[in-house]
Structure 1
């Protein structure tokens, strides 16, 4: 499963990350917050949630709005032990 991190600049492309890299980051720290781009499908993020909850981790996801437009949002994902 490939997901896209949130963009840091409006005109740049979102950087892709695979599940193995996310798992490695979560394994290093007890609590990790990721920001994912709006281009990710909600279904993929729910699959990510199922994956980490099956590993016994707590998973919290929310939409973060950063502008007035309906398209100005990103997903915040907090994974902890």
Structure 2
């Protein structure tokens, strides 16, 4: 599975990250907060949550609004052991 990370600038393209890379970072640090772009399908993020919960992690997913427009949001995923 490949997800798009949140953009640093509004007009830039989001960078992608693979599920394996997320796992590697979690093994090193034990916990991590990831910010994903609004272009990701919500069902993909739910699959990510379920994947890590099945591996014994606690996972919190929330939508973060950073402006007044409906399209000004991103997803925050906090994964910890």
TM-score with structure 2 setting the length: 0.98
Alpha-carbon distance between aligned partners in 2 of 1:71 and 1:30, rounded to the nearest angstrom: 32
CA RMSD across the alignment = 0.5
* Pairing 1:25-64 to 2, within 5 Å after superposition: 25-64=25-64
For these two proteins, the number of residue pairs brought into alignment is 81
Alpha-carbon distance between aligned partners in 2 of 1:4 and 1:33, rounded to the nearest angstrom: 14
Alpha-carbon distance between aligned partners in 1 of 2:27 and 2:77, rounded to the nearest angstrom: 15
Q: What is the match of residue 16 of structure 2?
A: 16
What SS is found at the alignment partner of 1:47?
A: helix
Alpha-carbon distance between aligned partners in 2 of 1:28 and 1:10, rounded to the nearest angstrom: 30
Structure 2: give runs of 5+ residues left out of the alignment. Answer: none
Structure 1: give runs of 5+ residues left out of the alignment. Answer: none
Alpha-carbon distance between aligned partners in 2 of 1:27 and 1:50, rounded to the nearest angstrom: 18
After superposing on structure 2, the runs of 4+ consecutive aligned residues of structure 1 that deviate more than 4 Å are none
